[in-house]
């Protein structure tokens, strides 16, 4: 039986952010990353978040905050009810859930 998670996602840039809420159907065992991908496929193709599950060298790209706790979106499970997603704290916000993750000496200028 399908359940529904209500994902509230912080959107925008550092200067102008807003929250958007999406009701996401899911089956038990699906991840927060699955929910974000569902939103991008069915509701808003412009939603920005990082993941690179197929490339083990880039793992940890899907880090974000869920209800104030830092999580990996690929391992955290969806649940019935409200879930609030925000970008990583203390990182430069690029857009939506995407923050700067490259060390300063490795960034292209």
Per-residue pLDDT of 2-22, as tens digits, reads: 899 999 999 999 889 999 999
Taking 80 as the threshold, does the pLDDT of residue 88 lie above it?
Answer: yes
3 state DSSP class of 77: strand
Confidence of residue 102 (pLDDT cuts 50, 70, 90): low
Do you know the residue count of the chain?
A: 109
Site of tokens 């599950």: 53
Cβ distance 51 to 33 under 8 Å? yes
**DSSP 8-state class, residue 41:** H
Which of 49, 46, 47 is closest to 62 using CA atoms?
Answer: 49
- Domains of the chain (ranges, CATH numbers): 3-94 (3.10.20.30)
| Residue 10: both structure tokens together | 């912080």
Taking 70 as the threshold, does the pLDDT of residue 54 lie above it?
Answer: no
Query: Across residues 83-90, what is the average pLDDT?
Result: 94
Question: What pLDDT sits at residue 52?
Answer: 83
CA 84, CA 14: separation in Å to the nearest integer? 18
Using a cut of 0.95, tell me whether the model's pTM lies above it. Answer: no
Cβ distance 5 to 78 under 8 Å? yes
Strand partners, 77: 31
């Amino acid at each position: 039986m399908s359940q529904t998670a209500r994902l509230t996602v912080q959107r925008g840039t550092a200067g102008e952010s807003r929250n958007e809420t999406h009701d996401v159907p899911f089956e038990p065992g699906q991840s927060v990353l699955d929910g974000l991908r569902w939103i991008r496929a069915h509701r808003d193709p412009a939603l920005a978040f990082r993941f690179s599950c197929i490339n083990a060298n880039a793992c940890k790209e899907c880090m974000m905050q869920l209800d104030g706790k830092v999580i990996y979106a690929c391992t955290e499970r969806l649940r019935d009810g409200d879930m609030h997603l925000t970008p990583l704290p203390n990182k430069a916000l690029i857009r939506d859930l995407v923050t700067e993750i490259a060390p300063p000496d490795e960034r292209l200028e």
